[in-house]
Amino acid sequence: MVMNLPVTRCGNTEFRWGERTYVMGVVNLSPDSFSGDGIGDDIDAAVAQAKRMVKEGADVIDVGGESTRPGTEPSLPDDITEELRLVIPVIERLAGELSVPISIDTYKSEVARQAVKAGATILNDIWGLKRDPALAQIASESGLPIILMANQRDAPPKAGILAKVIADLENGIRLAQDAGVPDENIIIDPGIGFGKTLEQNLELVNRLGELREMDKPVLLGTSRKSMIGLVLDLPPEQRLEGNLAVTAIGIANGADMVRVHDVEPTVRVCRMSDSIVRRGAIND
């Protein structure tokens, strides 16, 4: 599957969409992470985990300091003290010790601003600019890529989930463009698990290819999420095989990057899937 998407540049890294699937490794610093992998304020443990993920093949490390588990309410844009305390020291360390881009997982512009100063080079907004549109200005001013996710937790739709996701993504893209973010720096994420039912999540993965009409790289994040748990009746720490299946299907349906907790097995699945789906690009 070769797509004619422009190259996204992030420091010395180039994301050449369509040539292969990129892997984003998750470093959760929130102690109440839904997936049970929250590190808290142990900086050394967070750095060690990130380094291990890069050694296993991660192309990006995504650092987050606030839980997004189901049932949690988003905090206010000015409620940033604890989030900054967790993420900034880790990003500063990683920026000096890793060669891959570091993403900051936040929907608050001031956290993003300070994270960029600390060394983050990708912004990952789980609210797609709906909570704090000023994030787009930071992406524009810094020349960094921004990931916009479709989050329906504010108004869960009963029907027409794909249309709703596309509408939310289009709104986020428009806000980013109006702020001066170039098209090649915008990545979209359908937001699996955020305000969607099980059936809606399954439908989105199955119809992921329809997001290709938006002409943006697609990130898919399903790692350890309840969609897998509900289908397999398993807790988060036992959902690896389920997520590997979703990853392979996601790549076949057009995913360009996957956000995961289990990097090494995911990298292997991506390589195998890419050899089938993207063989034209790989052989060029």
| Res 68 pLDDT > 90 | no
What are the tens digits of pLDDT across the range 86-123? 999 999 999 999 999 999 999 999 999 999 999 999 99
pLDDT of residue 39: 76
**Residue 70 is assigned to a structural domain of this protein:** yes
pLDDT band, very low/low/confident/very high, at 67 (cuts 50, 70, 90): confident
* Beta strands 146-149; 122-125: pairing state: parallel
**Residue 239 is assigned to a structural domain of this protein:** no
Asked if 168 contacts 128 with a C-beta cutoff of 8 angstroms, the reply is: yes
Residue positions annotated with a catalytic role: 225, 259
**Residue 4 is assigned to a structural domain of this protein:** no
**Residue 101 is assigned to a structural domain of this protein:** yes
Any bridge partners for residue 106, and if so which? none
Number of domains in the chain: 1
pTM: 0.93
- CATH code (residue 145): 3.20.20.20
- 103 closest CA partner among 148, 45, 44, 37: 148
Asked if 38 contacts 26 with a C-beta cutoff of 8 angstroms, the reply is: no
What are the tens digits of pLDDT across the range 206-254? 999 999 999 999 999 999 999 999 999 999 999 999 999 999 999 999 9
pLDDT band, very low/low/confident/very high, at 1 (cuts 50, 70, 90): very low
Task: Tell me the three state secondary structure of residue 220.
Answer: strand
**Residue 256 is assigned to a structural domain of this protein:** no
**Residue 182 is assigned to a structural domain of this protein:** yes
Q: Output the furthest CA–CA distance in the chain (Å, rounded).
A: 49
**Other beta carbons within 10 Å of 97:** 11
What are the tens digits of pLDDT across the range 149-198? 999 999 999 999 999 999 999 999 999 999 999 999 999 999 999 999 99
**Residue 32 is assigned to a structural domain of this protein:** yes
What residues make up the domain containing 91? 20-219
Residue 92 main-chain phi, psi, to 5 deg: -60, -45
% of the chain beyond a pLDDT of 90: 86
**Residue 259 is assigned to a structural domain of this protein:** no
Distance separating alpha carbons of residues 133 and 96, to the nearest angstrom = 29
Q: Average pLDDT, stretch 26-46?
A: 76
- 87 closest CA partner among 71, 110, 58, 69: 110
SS3 string, 85-102, reads HHHHHHHHHHHHHCCCCE
Among positive and negative, which fits the CA dihedral 83, 85, 86, 89?
Answer: positive
